[in-house]
Chains A and B, each alone.
Chain A
């Protein structure tokens, strides 16, 4: 696509770039600052009923008998339903996709029928006039169980002695093998071969607003309105429609304020489907808000991997080949509709990603277990791939006695090598690894830090510096999900409407969960049309209002939704100029729009305020030529298609101090250099990076969903499951290289997941650097004090 209209890429001048590149605050943040947001649990509807779920205490068991009688007698209870009754209103689903060849999963019901497969699976739904009353009734339900052997360990699952789903002959949900050929030869020729096995703990998103849904069925219309804390309203519209048997256009999904999502809120959850079904069954609005314990037990988990990686290189430090063997456990079902095969698939695609070796072999096994399901959570697969890559790269550099930064410089794909096809098959349009590395080393004053490290070691202070180069999937094309048969849109749309007073309303299918999507859409729209930012009002998150689109996931909001807003804004501007031309009787080509006025393009003199243009177009069109109809509402769509994904790249560094007596890791500083293409709002981009880095730090140091050998979640609450809090977090320095994608006019790539993708590897390498004088290494995340002390052989 050409850059004929250019404005957004001509750097420097306000006229050309408008608000693009400016750190303006988000208009929609003001209501949240005053506690006047509207999250699902804040909404009030007449006859609202509340649902809570009786959940399985067992990891694997048959439901022999359920007794509701005592619970039903409780005043205020509206109804109690088991899985079979709900299944009459909500059909089951299967989380598989055609492009993940061989992936399998059994049908899953909204509420368990006959058998439960993980602790926390819903067994019955209790609906009452208040939440408290529904919870009272829970205590009166009696269930008779027959416990079944549970498969908890993923290696045991892979071995397949016990099969979880009897319709299958093994516990393997998905298997993939990839081989460029020549790998054995490369390892045979190598001067140096290093190998390591890395373990990654299960963790979860811990959105501060728990999963929430309010379903309001209108029996007279056979229509359903769902207020949903979701990232993908149109996807959910399709799913409610198909599984509840309501015509698509009669289902409206509204996502108002969403209290964090991070990928947690882009999946189909059985209890949420049950809530919608219950609204149909009871012909009244029903609300479900997960409590924190339910969130830990049923929000998707992620990242339970054991990955063995080998690297071959020459004694000059040239990487020849990578080999990967990844095993991951996903719980008893592949999650619908994205599947639970994607995370492992991404690990295979991305391992070794920044480097220029040509030989690569990978094996992936995705297995079922009787634990909660796992699926796509912020940075999907990247934290695993980056950690195994950067962990083994550091090990190789150490073995060669090379500085890790120099080793990377030697092996990173050259900045002029693009377009480039990576040995896993993925394609890079244009990356900037070397520019990013240089900028990072400059920002962190790398040589000085190394000197300081040496000096401090003499005093018994053990500091470590860890680097992590990375690539990241953003702006996905239909190749991500659509080609596999998922009804998940890779295209997004934006409608812009000029209001009579000269304001512009923007309606876009990409949603806002706090990233600042609506803020950057306002910046893009204002810049494209030629109005000031205060004239823009953005509406997202309503299938009844916005164009059709995918929503927010895979770092696509700015690159895909933003481009749709830009195209729509330019079309609206053109239509406005046409009207102005009729009103002013001046050739359209001689006119421009700047700062809320039609202007003379050459002199930049204001000729017609937009409020006057709007007045004439809407209220006095009789004064316009008879054969002319003004069009002041326009819609444009955009789908990235030239590449499967628009890859970004970046590099992070972590500086830590390890207390070798206690095993505690103190984070001193973190740096993040990222190339996400055109930066629309530097402040928001930096805040995405920082928030992402801290989530990655959580994975590296604190967060793990711990299960007992029987499949009981041991730490499913916020007191026992540790998350990053302000006291332990470092300040994070962000910097940017801008390589706009040439696939769009806007040039923006995604940035939402980069921080989370790279931070765990950087922290791991920093800890291992600090421990290197002791010959100790840690490889199992999270790196708790206990694990650090074990590595030091102190316990």
Chain B
């Protein structure tokens, strides 16, 4: 009943080859096969954003993409982006403002926030508070009420992070 495929991809800068079932989600592959447990499965139908990872530079829901679809791709997760220090500014601002409580949404939230920060917006403008809220509105956080998260992202955008 299962169809397995060989895939080769780059995860956090390291080439990885595995044989995976066709039905396996990317987030399950990362968590179960590669033991990169920083990306979390929250709802498994693309709503909560806890499984957000980066594939070829774009943030995606790890529960809506199959591992086989990542064949040949570059995948970055919270572990790799922490080690490379790309998220260091956001992580510092989140820490100082307590923009996380239980931390389960945090890896996905950080990737969504970094996506906003790293992509060029309209020339000469920076994202407003409303735009920050809008950009992370696909990431569910049950603990914080979001305000501290918005504050932290805003702080980094304004270069204080």
Residues in A lying within 8 Å of B, measured CB to CB:
25-26, 29-30, 32-37, 39, 41-42, 44, 132, 136, 205-210, 257-262, 291-292, 513-516, 683-684, 687, 690-695, 717-719, 723-727, 729, 731-732, 755
Most buried by A among B37, B103, B106, B138: B103
Report Cα–Cα, A317/B35, bound state, in Å: 65
- What A residues does B21 contact at CB under 8 A? 132
Contact B137 A725 (CB under 8 A): yes
- Whether A727 contacts B134 in the complex (CB less than 8 A), given A132-B23, A258-B102, comes out as yes
Report the minimum CB–CB distance from B41 to chain A (whole Å). Answer: 8
Contact A25 B96 (CB under 8 A): yes
Contact B106 A32 (CB under 8 A): yes
Contact A35 B79 (CB under 8 A): yes
- What A residues does B31 contact at CB under 8 A? 41-42
A to B CB contacts below 8 Å, 29 in the list: A34-B38, A34-B78, A35-B38, A35-B82, A42-B37, A132-B21, A132-B24, A206-B140, A208-B104, A208-B140, A209-B40, A258-B102, A259-B40, A259-B103, A262-B142, A292-B42, A514-B100, A687-B144, A687-B145, A693-B145, A694-B146, A717-B47, A718-B48, A725-B137, A725-B146, A727-B137, A729-B146, A731-B147, A755-B145
Report the minimum CB–CB distance from B134 to chain A (whole Å). Answer: 5
- What B residues does A687 contact at CB under 8 A? 98, 101, 144-145, 148
User: What 0/1 readout, one digit per residue, does chain B (4-29) give for beta carbons within 8 Å of chain A?
Assistant: 00000000000000000101100000
Report the minimum CB–CB distance from B87 to chain A (whole Å). Answer: 8
Contact A292 B44 (CB under 8 A): yes
Contact B1 A136 (CB under 8 A): yes
Contact B47 A33 (CB under 8 A): no
Report Cα–Cα, A350/B36, bound state, in Å: 47
Q: Please give me the 10 A-B residue pairs with the lowest Cβ-Cβ distance, nearest first.
A: A35-B38, A32-B103, A514-B101, A514-B102, A259-B104, A35-B78, A694-B145, A727-B137, A42-B37, A690-B145
Report Cα–Cα, A231/B145, bound state, in Å: 21
Contact B147 A33 (CB under 8 A): no
11 A-B pairs besides A39-B37, A726-B141 with CB distance below 8 A are A30-B95, A33-B100, A35-B107, A207-B102, A208-B142, A683-B98, A687-B144, A691-B101, A691-B145, A694-B144, A729-B133
Report Cα–Cα, A209/B44, bound state, in Å: 12
Question: Total A-B residue pairs with C-beta atoms closer than 8 Å?
Answer: 172
Q: Closest residue of chain B to A683, judged by CB?
A: B98
Q: Closest residue of chain B to A690, judged by CB?
A: B145
- Whether A33 contacts B106 in the complex (CB less than 8 A), given A208-B141, A726-B137, comes out as yes
Interface size (B, Cβ < 8 Å)? 56
Report Cα–Cα, A521/B144, bound state, in Å: 20
- What A residues does B146 contact at CB under 8 A? 694, 724-726, 729
Report Cα–Cα, A32/B66, bound state, in Å: 26
- What A residues does B35 contact at CB under 8 A? 44
Most buried by A among B48, B79, B98: B98
Q: Which of A33, A41, A208, A262 contacts B110 (CB 8 A)?
A: A33
- What B residues does A513 contact at CB under 8 A? 101-102
B33-90 interface (Cβ within 8 A of A): 35-45, 47-48, 50, 77-79, 82
- What B residues does A755 contact at CB under 8 A? 145
Report the minimum CB–CB distance from B93 to chain A (whole Å). Answer: 10
- Whether A723 contacts B140 in the complex (CB less than 8 A), given A260-B104, A718-B45, comes out as yes
Report Cα–Cα, A257/B38, bound state, in Å: 12
Report Cα–Cα, A41/B91, bound state, in Å: 23
- What A residues does B44 contact at CB under 8 A? 291-292
- What B residues does A26 contact at CB under 8 A? 95, 98
Q: Which of B50, B95, B149 contacts A726 (CB 8 A)?
A: B149
- What B residues does A684 contact at CB under 8 A? 98
Q: Which of B48, B91, B96, B145 contacts A208 (CB 8 A)?
A: B48
Contact A33 B91 (CB under 8 A): yes
- Whether A719 contacts B105 in the complex (CB less than 8 A), given A691-B143, A731-B147, comes out as no
Report Cα–Cα, A210/B43, bound state, in Å: 9
Report Cα–Cα, A514/B37, bound state, in Å: 18
Q: Closest residue of chain A to B38, judged by CB?
A: A35
- What B residues does A694 contact at CB under 8 A? 144-146
Contact B95 A29 (CB under 8 A): yes
Contact A35 B39 (CB under 8 A): yes
Contact B43 A39 (CB under 8 A): no
Report the minimum CB–CB distance from B15 to chain A (whole Å). Answer: 21
Q: Closest residue of chain A to B63, judged by CB?
A: A292
Contact B91 A34 (CB under 8 A): yes
Report Cα–Cα, A71/B131, bound state, in Å: 50
